[in-house]
Structures are given as C-alpha cells and as structure tokens.
Chain A
Amino acid sequence: MIQPMSRLKSVFTGAGALLLAAVIWVPCLHLFFRQPASNFYTQKGLSPKAKLLAARHLQLWTEPASREGELRRMRASNAEWDFMGRTFLVWSLANMGLREPASKDIYLKTMDQIIDETLRLEKQEGMYFFLMPYAKFRPYVAQPAHSLFLDGEIAMMLASRRLLEERADYKPLLTGRVNAIVERFKQSPHMVLESYPDECWMFDHVVALAAVRMADALDGSDHSALFRDWLEMAKHKLMHKDTGLLITSFTTDPTPLDGPEGSTIWMVAHILQFLDTDLAQDQYQRARKELGETTMGFSYAHEWPKSWKGQADIDSGPIIPVFNISPGSSGMAFIGASAFGDEKFLSSLVATLDFAAFPSRQSDRLKYCASNQVGDAALLYAATLGPLVEKVNARTKL
C-alpha cells in the first residue's frame, strides 16, 4: 500500500514536472509556426499564401455549387459579408493583375463576373439585399435612401477593374455612381452620409472617397477640394481625443456612436493611403500602439483601445477572453501591417493565423476554417495590396 505522504510527494513531483514542462514549451510554441513575412506578402509578384488563397477564391467563382454553399452560410449571419467578400476579392484581383500581368485575363474574367452579378442583384433585389435587416427598421434621414456602404464599395470595384484594364461600359457606371456620391457629400450639412438609417461609418466614407480619387485618376476629374474639406472635418469632428484615432461610426449630426475599433481602423489607415499618406501613417502607428499585441511570439489585435469600452458585435467577432483577442480586428490587422511594411508584426500575425485559424489546404488551394469567404478575401487583399495605391498616386497628385 502506498503511504499517504509518499503519494502526496509523487503528486507534488508530478505537478512540478508539469510546471517546468509548461515553462519550457509555451514560449517555444510560436517557433513551430514562425515564418518570414514574405510567405504572406511580397513587394513584387505573389507570395505563396496569396497564390493559395487566390486559387481557392477563383475556384469558388468557377464552381457555383461551392460558392452558393459558402454564401448561404455567411448570409445566415450577415448579408454584408456576401457583399464584402465580393468587393475584397475584386480589389485583390486588380492588385494581382497589376502584379502578374501574364495572368490578367483570368483575373479580369472573374472580376467582371463578380461585378456584373453584384450589380444585377442590387438592381433586382434592391439595396437591402446586401444590408443587415435593421436597415429597414426606420427611414433614412436623407431621402431618397442610399447606402454609402454599397455605393462606395461598388464604385471602388468598378474603378479597380478599370485601373487594371479599361472597359468602356463600366465608365458611365463609375461616373454615375461617383457623381451621385459627390453630390450627396455636397448636400450633406456635415459631409457625412448614411450607410444605415442615421448611421454613418468611417470605413464606408474612406472607401467612397478613395473610389472618387480612383475615378479622378482614370477620367481626369479633380475632387481634391472635397478630399481636403472632408479630411479637415474628420480630424475635427470624428477623432477620438484620447487615442487620436478616427472613430468608427456616427450619426448624421455627426454624433459619435462607436469609438475607434480594430475591425475598422486598420482598413481605414490603409485606404487613407489614397487620400492623405501622412494621416494614413499616423493612424496606422496609433492603431499599432493601441490595438496591436504580441504574446509569446503570437500577434493579434484588440477591438478597442483601453480608453474605450465597447460591446462585441458582428464586426469584432466573439472576443476571446483573457487576451481580449478580436478575430475581426486581428484579421484586418493584416491589411495594416502589409500596407505599412510592418514586417515584424506581419510575421507574427501570420504565425497566429497558422496556429489558430485552422488552415485547410487541398492541392493548390488554401482556406482558413476559422475564417469564412469574406475573411479569406480580406486576407487575400492584405497579401496583394499596394499596386492600386501606387498606380492612383502616380497618376494624380494629392
């Protein structure tokens, strides 16, 4: 029979061994997932991960049954994801075409397919098809109702396609949408436009303005006064004082609704590269300081800075406790890190992605099971962005 003291001693010895093993293993874990940032993002050509992610997305658009399944699952949670999965993919393909001109025709075919289908659905089903149900709960303040979310992203899709290669029938579509956006900005007393009833989003404003700037680069128009005035307004009225970060959403007054959020600001910082490179850099650095985090070699991002208390929502994703990891913010952080050449952060974000997002590779295709089609499309965009910004900024002066 084992003596109680002896048994207690062996339990303590075992517990000590476990503790020592944990102290050895946990800090080493990231070494098994560490890889150079160039696996994810390269200045020229396409990175290995970009190729794999792109192959999977191109397959989705050639296999209607697979695409339907993906879209139905996403639409069950959020109809916006269906729309944004399209826009991120079109923007990615435009960048890929500029990086790899030899494959341009394949990319153009898919871009046109997505754009045409999106425009058809918008016309056939109305703008609410791509919005969350609460868009119908009350009327828009500005009538007739328009969603800047849809108009801005569609305009940027059309402009991206035309920047890769001109398509005559898309020119009036882009001009019409851009003119309508600009007109509404002029009519708005505070230069803010709704995406949902009395709900305006920073993400949608910068995307819409970037689309206008792309149209300027394509068609020789000049909206620099609009960009200057809007940026001045945003710096004065839409900035969170404690962090110096742009807020996420606001009413038409404009009264702030949501403060700075990771699921928005990383993309906003990148899109500002089309409009104001200094402000873009400033916003990225602030977001990196307030939201970026690295623990034991794994990087991730919080949804809110310490000075702002927010609730988890469809954009942040479920917040992982203890570390306060936001899947939404962490995914979008790839866009910021790639756009601003933050290789160290990007490298450890990729380690986290391969550790915690459950990569699933089938032959030459890659998807992340913890993500979805829109999440993977945003990752693809992060892995390919750059050429569109360079092309637009080379054509027009800020």
Chain B
Amino acid sequence: MNADLRSAFAPPVQERATDTPSFLAKLWRAKFFSSKDFVRRALIICLLFGLAHLLGLKEFTSVLNGTTGSLALGWTISAILGLTYVLLYVALVLLVPIFLLAAAILAVWARVRPRKHP
C-alpha cells in the first residue's frame, strides 16, 4: 500500500489521539469527584506513602522533636524528607479512608437515588 492509500484509510489525527487509549489509561480515566476519582486518589496516596516508607523516610520524622534524621544529609534535607513522610502518613490515615468511604457513599447513592424517567 502506498502512502496515499494509507493516509486515505487511516482515521483522522485527532480521533487517533483520543479514541485509542491503552487499557490502563481507560481504566484510570475518571470524572472529577466521582467514585472512581476518589478511589484513584486513594491509590495514588497509598503508592506515594509506600514509596516513602520503602525509602526509609520514617527515620527522618525525628524532625518533629528537633533532631536531625541524618547528619550526613544535613538539617534542611532531613527536615524536608521527614515532613514529606509526615504529610504522606497523615494523607494515608486521614484522606485514604475518607476517599474510600466517599466512593462507597457515591456508589450507594447512585443505586438508591430516584431516577428521572423520560
């Protein structure tokens, strides 16, 4: 097939970009503040916290009492790492359950709310 024929049978450029997302991208796409959006946010927080935990940032939370987490890294970097862990932890224990509960509430609401009939 020559180049002219290929371009004649190919979908328009805009259509290709928007209608052929990967399976994961489709799965990931969600309406703002929808059930799926909340679950997605909870997952992101879990992943970020898991990463911070695996990297050992918990040791740097000694910044809360004024002790540096690492003399080698210095006070500023240690404080940033420690506070990052603290913020991610707070997000994990406060926001993740709230997001998941909210997702569940929306799912229940979608089932029980009265629907308009045409």
* Chain A residues within 8 Å of B, Cβ to Cβ: 2, 7, 10-11, 13-15, 17-18, 20-22, 24-26, 29, 72-74, 76-78, 81, 314, 317-318, 327-328, 331, 355, 357-358, 360, 369-372, 375
Given A10-B33, A358-B89: A77 touches B98 (CB 8 Å cut-off) = no
**Cross-chain contact B98 with A18 (CB below 8 angstroms):** yes
| Shortest beta-carbon distance from A391 to chain B in Å | 32
Q: Please name all residues of chain A whose beta carbon is closer than 8 Å to the beta carbon of B62 when the two chains form the complex.
A: 73, 369-372
Given A11-B33, A314-B66: A29 touches B106 (CB 8 Å cut-off) = no
A-B contact pairs, 13 of them (CB 8 A): A11-B32, A13-B106, A14-B33, A14-B37, A18-B98, A20-B101, A21-B101, A22-B98, A25-B98, A81-B67, A317-B66, A372-B67, A375-B65
Complex: how many Å from CA A395 to CA B58? 46
Q: Please name all residues of chain B whose beta carbon is closer than 8 Å to the beta carbon of A20 when the two chains form the complex.
A: 101-102, 105
Q: Does B94 contact A (CB under 8 A)?
A: yes
Q: Please name all residues of chain A whose beta carbon is closer than 8 Å to the beta carbon of B38 when the two chains form the complex.
A: 14, 17-18
Residue of B nearest to A358 (CB): B61
**Cross-chain contact B94 with A14 (CB below 8 angstroms):** no
Q: Which of A18, A331, A370 contacts B61 (CB 8 A)?
A: A370
* Chain B residues within 8 Å of A, Cβ to Cβ: 31-34, 37-38, 58-59, 61-71, 85, 89, 93-94, 97-103, 105-106, 109
Q: Please name all residues of chain A whose beta carbon is closer than 8 Å to the beta carbon of B34 when the two chains form the complex.
A: 10, 14
Complex: how many Å from CA A241 to CA B62? 36
**Cross-chain contact B106 with A17 (CB below 8 angstroms):** yes
Which 8 A-B residue pairings sit nearest by Cβ, starting from the closest? A14-B33, A21-B101, A21-B102, A17-B102, A17-B105, A370-B64, A372-B67, A370-B61
Residue of A nearest to B60 (CB): A369
Complex: how many Å from CA A357 to CA B65? 10
**Cross-chain contact B65 with A25 (CB below 8 angstroms):** no
**Cross-chain contact A73 with B68 (CB below 8 angstroms):** yes
Complex: how many Å from CA A375 to CA B63? 13
**Cross-chain contact A369 with B102 (CB below 8 angstroms):** no
With a 10 A CB-CB cut-off, give which of A22, A81, A355, A358 has the most chain B CB atoms: A358
Given A14-B102, A15-B33: A327 touches B109 (CB 8 Å cut-off) = no
Complex: how many Å from CA A18 to CA B85? 24
Q: Which of A13, A29, A314 contacts B94 (CB 8 A)?
A: A29
Complex: how many Å from CA A375 to CA B99? 35
Residue of B nearest to A78 (CB): B66
**Cross-chain contact B101 with A76 (CB below 8 angstroms):** no
Complex: how many Å from CA A72 to CA B37? 46
**Cross-chain contact B33 with A369 (CB below 8 angstroms):** no
Besides A24-B101, A25-B97, A318-B64, 8 other CB < 8 A contacts? Answer: A14-B32, A14-B33, A14-B106, A20-B101, A21-B99, A318-B63, A327-B65, A372-B65
Q: Please name all residues of chain B whose beta carbon is closer than 8 Å to the beta carbon of A22 when the two chains form the complex.
A: 98
Q: Please name all residues of chain A whose beta carbon is closer than 8 Å to the beta carbon of B93 when the two chains form the complex.
A: 29, 355
| Shortest beta-carbon distance from B65 to chain A in Å | 5
Q: Please name all residues of chain B whose beta carbon is closer than 8 Å to the beta carbon of A73 when the two chains form the complex.
A: 62, 67-71
**Cross-chain contact A369 with B71 (CB below 8 angstroms):** no
Complex: how many Å from CA A73 to CA B61? 13
